[in-house]
Amino acid sequence: MTSRVLVASAALLLVLLVMAAELLLSRRNEARLRAQGAWEPPDDVYWTMRWTYPCAFVLMAIEGAAIAPAPGAAAVAGLAVLVASKLLKGWAIAALGARWTFRVLVVSGAPLVTRGPYAFARHPNYVAVVGELIGMAFLVGARVTGPLAVVLFGLLIRRRIVVENRALGTALAPEQRRGTAQ
């Protein structure tokens, strides 16, 4: 087994394992939020995101295993970006607590989260997701599928942020609506 196949396989396995753990947490939190009366806004891109996100990592790993150059400095940088992005995502998840899910679920009247990374950025989880894609692309040497994944998934995130901001603008008290669509 070549080093590029080993790196691509190990990276994909670890990313998918973390994704599976996140899915379990998301489903548990979804059930709690729905029990509290949470609602899901229309026009969300969740159904597209739920398959494009893992597929992006699979395609990058395939490209990396098949045609990437041997791992070098770019792979080390990619690993650092991927780990930093996972840490940022973990911080965002911890700050949201039981309100974090893969879906946009809003409990009307619940306060906007402004602690953790949300004190510095409006959507740190999405920054982390883009970082995960960039990190994986560099880690496995995905020179074609990496940039495509970042651009295409970035467009989905952009649409998602519009939906999320609109939903939050509807659900928040007037004094908390700063920066949300009303």
CA distance 112 to 40: 16
**Looking at 20-24, 38-42, 53-57, 62-66, which range is the least confident one?**
38-42
Could you state, in order of their start, the residue ranges of all structural domains in the chain? 3-176
For 92-120, the three-class secondary structure string (H helix, E strand, C coil) is HHHHHHHHCCCCCCECCCCCCCCCHHHHC
Q: What tens digit of pLDDT does each residue of 152-175 get?
A: 999 999 999 999 999 988 765 555
pLDDT at 179 over 90: no
Q: What tens digit of pLDDT does each residue of 32-43 get?
A: 999 999 999 989
CA distance 111 to 168: 10
Neighbours of 108 (CB within 10 A): 13
With bands split at pLDDT 50, 70 and 90, how would you rate the model's confidence at 181?
very low
Q: What tens digit of pLDDT does each residue of 77-120 get?
A: 999 999 999 999 999 999 999 999 999 999 988 888 999 999 99
As its CATH architecture, domain 3-176 has Up-down Bundle (1.20)
